[in-house]
Structure 1
């Protein structure tokens, strides 16, 4: 098993133990409303929301490619040399 899988299993087991130890009903005040509910329900809800937010934040975004972008200045002239036009000096430097 990979290290990340083992760490995930340990976190889930610890989270389950913590939730099972907190099953009594308590008063939660959310904005202007008071709600009586089990700590287990609230901890589970916050754990699920935190997990979803963690996935959304950690996922990689799309890579933007600029190869087809038009590099032109304000006058409209192309400031990029045409493709495939390297000078001899540039070819010597690359090789």
Structure 2
């Protein structure tokens, strides 16, 4: 098991114990509206929301451009069909 997996398991166990120990109802104000909910539901929803927000924020960005290291470099062939960027030694090695 990796270190990250062990930490995730420990956090999940601690969160589950904390949520299960708080079943009594409480009054929360959500957008200026008082709502009476069990703490269990509120803790679970906040935990799931925080997890989803963390996943969305930590996703790698998509590149707008291709992953090609040289986007403007195109293979141009000479009259003999060989690539212009290869040396004579490279051509001999390939063939």
Q: TM-score interval w.r.t. the shorter chain?
A: 0.5 to 0.7
Q: TM-score, normalised by structure 2?
A: 0.66
Q: In the alignment, what sits opposite 2:35?
A: 35
Q: In the alignment, what sits opposite 1:23?
A: 23
1:29 is displaced (CA, Å) by 1.2
After the TM superposition, which segments of 4 or more aligned residues of structure 1 sit over 2 Å from their partners? 63-66
Aligned-pair Cα RMSD in Å: 1.7
Residues in 2 aligned to 1:52 and 1:31: alpha-carbon distance in whole angstroms: 21
Q: In the alignment, what sits opposite 2:47?
A: 47
Unaligned runs of 5+ in 1: 69-83, 86-95
Q: In the alignment, what sits opposite 2:65?
A: 65
Q: What secondary structure does 2:5 align onto?
A: helix
Residues in 2 aligned to 1:58 and 1:32: alpha-carbon distance in whole angstroms: 31
Q: Deviations over 1:47-92 (max 9, x none)?
A: 0010000000001112343724xxxxxxxxxxxxxxx68xxxxxxx
How many pairs does the alignment contain? 70
